[in-house]
Homo-oligomer: A and B are copies of this chain.
Amino acid sequence: MSNIKVELTKSPKPKPVDESKLTFGDVFTDHMLIVDYDEGQGWHDARIVPYGPLSLDPAAMCLHYGQEVFEGMKAYRADDGRVLLFRPQENFKRLNLSNDRLCIPPVDEEFMLECLEKFVSIDADWIPKAPDTSLYLRPFIIAVDPHLGVRAANHYLFMVIASPVGPYYPEGLDPVKIYVETKYVRAVKGGTGFTKTAGNYSSSLKAQYEAKEKNYTQVLWLDGVERKYIEEVGTMNVFFKIDGEIITPSLDGSILGGITRKSAIELMRGWGMKVTERRLSIDELAKAYDDGKLEEAFGTGTAAVISPIGHLNWGDTKIMNINNGEIGPVSQRLYDELTGIQWGKVEDKYGWTVTVK
């Protein structure tokens, strides 16, 4: 760790007083991690410095051409005081997948994780202790050369910032109402849907807003080619229990490979459940509903962990009320098991957690 410079803040900020009132992503800790990339030199000068504004040239390429990727993960405070990360290696692996697609130079996954752990240990007092709270960690990379003209940049910043957070959905584990999106498309094969790049999120806003106006929490995305295969729900992966079998869309290039998704699949298979990754059309889902076979539906993601879906609206005429709008047993069990492992309350049989020193 000798090559990570540390400059501690001289004016620590007050920490949130009432941890039960924490929102998501509005408050930031005392420090941030920065690593520079310069063509020829590679990634260099890893440093932890006081949290503060970046000085960016107005022509910085990230502000024009969106060469930006990010990750999302959490640090959890266990009852015994340990600080836990959940499968962080997976985040850095995925970051490099995003990097490759976006023409950003790869990072050294092990070294970046080491930097991140060091950063978390320095701001460890910011990890809240109230139930369902954690420290959200946001690694991201931005292209910073001042240049107009479409090409990959030569200078980048890798950064990690952190925010103490409460639950992502104020509704908590309450089942949400979802609108099946038929006008807008999130991603298409050959595009960037399998990466965490900025443009995937800005392009999704409009659908999200139109759904909110109709009183839906989020949208269910369909594929961009045939406009019928289910892809994701909002910014989560999606699962359905149909006639006893768990089905989730296969990762075909337009879907983000969620770490919660992967973990949920492994857990459920470990419980002896049948889990199938395949294409699932909205017609097939509606048919299963009509036949009384659609037993559960839920989204998975780092922010909300598990988000049960209680109600689906397809084309304003087909309404599916799933499991009477209540949390299903699989959703509940996954939520308990995943959060149990994440907060160190349940035995970590799979070796998923990393304890920050």
Q: Any chain B CB within 8 A of the CB of A209?
A: yes
| A150 and B235 contact, CB distance less than 8 A | yes
Known contacts A191-B203, A203-B192, A55 near B58 by CB under 8 Å: no
Find chain B residues with CB under 8 A from A103 CB: 202, 205-206, 209
The answer on a CB contact under 8 Å between A202 and B199 is: yes
Q: Which of B66, B147, B189 contacts A198 (CB 8 A)?
A: B66
Say yes or no for A294: interface residue by CB 8 A criterion: no
Residues from chain B with a CB closer than 8 A to the CB of A13 are none
Which B residue sits closest to A183, measured CB to CB?
B190
- Are B205 and A102 within 8 A (Cβ)? yes
Q: B188, A152: Cβ atoms under 8 Å?
A: no
A17 is an interface residue with CB less than 8 A from chain B: no
Determine which residue in A103, A142, A159, A198 has the highest number of CB atoms from chain B within 10 A of its CB, and name it: A198
Contacts A199-B66, A203-B199; A148 near B152 (Cβ below 8 A): no
Q: How large is the interface on A (under 10, 10 to 19, 20 to 34, 35 or more residues)?
A: 35 or more
Instruction: Determine if A67 is an interface residue (Cβ-Cβ < 8 Å).
Output: yes
Task: List A residues 159-183 near B (Cβ within 8 Å).
Answer: 159, 161, 163, 168, 183
Q: For the complex, is A138 an interface residue (Cβ under 8 Å from B)? A: yes
Chain B residues whose C-beta falls within 8 Å of the C-beta of A149 in the assembled complex: 24-25, 168, 303
CB of A42 closer than 8 Å to a CB of B: no
Contact between chains at B197 and A191 (CB < 8 Å): no
| Contact between B51 and A53, CB atoms less than 8 A apart | no
Query: Out of B59, B138, B192, B205, which one reaches A64, CB within 8 Å?
Result: B138
Report chain B residues within 8 Å CB of A202.
65-68, 102-103, 192, 197-199
- Residue A278 lies at the interface, judged by CB distance under 8 Å to chain B: no
Evaluate contact between B224 and A65: CB separation under 8 angstroms. Answer: no
CB of B54 within 8 A of CB of A188, answer no
Does A56 count as interface, using CB distance less than 8 angstroms? Answer: yes
What's the minimum C-beta distance from A280 to chain B, rounded to whole angstroms?
19
Which residues of B have CB within 8 Å of A58? 28, 32, 51, 53-54, 159, 161
CB of A204 closer than 8 Å to a CB of B: yes
CB < 8 Å neighbour of A54 from B56, B197, B208:
B56
Most buried by B among A57, A209, A227: A57
Residues 121-161 of A, flagged 1 when their CB comes within 8 A of B and 0 if not, give 00000000000000010101010001111111000000101
Task: Given A147-B25, A202-B67, decide whether A59 and B161 contact each other with a Cβ distance below 8 A.
Answer: yes
* Contact residues in B for A146 (Cβ distance below 8 Å): 26, 28
Residue among A24, A58, A163 with the highest chain B CB neighbour number at 10 A: A58
Smallest beta-carbon distance A35→chain B, Å: 13
Q: Residues of A with Cβ closer than 8 Å to B?
A: 24-26, 28, 32, 51, 53-59, 62-68, 70, 101-103, 136, 138, 140, 142, 146-152, 159, 161, 163, 168, 183-186, 188-192, 197-206, 208-209, 224-225, 227, 234-235, 303
- The 25 listed contacts between A and B (C-beta, < 8 Å) are A26-B147, A54-B57, A58-B161, A63-B198, A64-B140, A66-B202, A67-B202, A102-B205, A103-B202, A103-B206, A148-B161, A150-B201, A150-B204, A150-B205, A151-B208, A152-B209, A185-B188, A188-B191, A189-B224, A190-B227, A192-B202, A197-B202, A197-B203, A199-B203, A224-B225
